[in-house]
Amino acid sequence: MAKGAHSSVLFFFSSILVSFIALSVAQQDFLHNCQNNNGNYTSNSAFGTNLNNVLSSISSNTVIDYGFYNESVGQEPDMVNAIALCRGDASVDVCRSCLQNATRKILEVCPNQKEAVGWYDNCMLRYSNKSIFGVVDTQPTIYMGSTQNFSENLSDYKQALQDLLGSLKDTAALGDSLRKFATRDTTSGFQKIYALVQCTPDLDKLKCSDCLENAIRKIPDCCSDKIGGRVIYPSCNLRFENTRFFSPTADSPPPSPSRPLKGNDNTARTVIIIIVPIVSVMILVICIFFFLRMRKQKPKEMIESK
């Protein structure tokens, strides 16, 4: 009886703990790619110094208020080029906080890499020893699809999504050299579709349009029959959901009062919902295993130590 109670308590606390850890990790998810084939640098090299300088320059910048940073530090062959981009609807404060986190995180997850890229929900940061300004870069690609299928008329839905993203692509491409970003929503049957597209604004109109067109073509690879999805490139990205996940901005009228906002049923949330129970159960099983093993092994160890 006492044993049963004991392990129940263990179950309970470990599952709460695991859920907490999984949730906080997922909330600050930093998608990233360290392009290993571009080589390594050593911390005290010229490249390492230049990289630290460019990252601290971005994270401490209090002048830029339009969310786009492009900087080069140093001379060839140790030059570091960096681009940082905040989501077009992120406030200045959120943007700066996001980039402060990203500049720290990228060194942590890609130590000593000459090229790397990482994304939080609200910002993207990349650097390279190559020149990256004004160039469309679609590698690496990150796809994310909701686990939930679209349940109504699928051919209508796909068409509505294509139309929406196509028009957003045109709007974003027309943006200026500080901002190429667009959001809008539409309806298919009874289903709302909210979408967002963005290019790094160092791309010209044609390149932004090409990049987004490329991303739109990739939707069947991840999520054309899903209620939400994302295609993420270093140079541009798109995202759609069935709930409003972006702030109303100048180019998208505020939601009409007759359409109340629903919960946050976005892809990130969906991923958390799937991952938390699985991880909890896995860790729980491991805990129990070791707990039982420990109890059995204790006497043995004592004998050995005599």
Ligand X SMILES: *[C@@H]1O[C@H](CO)[C@@H](O)[C@H](O)[C@H]1NC(C)=O
Q: Which is nearer to ligand X, 109 or 279 (CB)?
A: 109
All residues at 6 or more sequence positions from 91 whose CB lies less than 8 Å from its CB, including other chains = none
**Binding to ligand X, residues 2-41 (CB under 6 A):** 36, 38-40
Given the rule CB under 6 A, which of 48-56, 148-156, 247-255, 268-276 is the region that contacts ligand X? 148-156
Site string for ligand X, 158-177 (x = CB under 6 A): -------------------x
Structure tokens at 90: 């992120």
Q: Strand, coil or helix: what is 90?
A: coil
- C-alpha 84/C-alpha 104 separation (Å) is 13
| Torsion over CA: 207, 209, 210, 215 (sign) | positive
- C-alpha 88/C-alpha 172 separation (Å) is 10
Binding of ligand X by 202 (CB under 6 A): yes
Helices 154-173 and 205-217 pack at an angle, to 10 degrees, of 160
- Which of 14, 49, 57, 112: binder of ligand X (CB under 6 A)? 112
Binding of ligand X by 122 (CB under 6 A): yes
Q: Which is nearer to ligand X, 87 or 218 (CB)?
A: 87
Q: Which is nearer to ligand X, 193 or 287 (CB)?
A: 193
Give the nearest distance from C-beta 138 to ligand X in angstroms. 19
Binding of ligand X by 98 (CB under 6 A): yes
- Which of 29, 65, 108, 156: binder of ligand X (CB under 6 A)? 156
Residue-by-residue DSSP string for 209-256:
HHHHHHHHHTHHHHTTTBS-EEEE-SSEEEEEESS--S---TTSPPPP
Alpha-carbon torsion, ordered 34, 40, 46, 52, to 10 deg: 30
**Binding to ligand X, residues 246-285 (CB under 6 A):** none
- Which of 67, 145, 175, 201: binder of ligand X (CB under 6 A)? 201
Give the nearest distance from C-beta 71 to ligand X in angstroms. 7
Residues in contact with ligand X, counted by CB under 6 A, come to a total of 26
Contact indicator for 65, 94 with CB cutoff of 8 Å = no
Binding of ligand X by 70 (CB under 6 A): yes
What single letter denotes the amino acid at residue 147?
T
Binding of ligand X by 77 (CB under 6 A): yes
Binding of ligand X by 61 (CB under 6 A): no
- C-alpha 292/C-alpha 121 separation (Å) is 41
- C-alpha 175/C-alpha 184 separation (Å) is 15
The residue assigned the tokens 């160890």 is 301
Name the residues that contact ligand X, by CB under 6 A.
36, 38-40, 70, 72, 77, 94, 97-98, 101, 112, 114, 120, 122, 129-130, 133, 149, 153, 155-156, 177, 201-202, 225
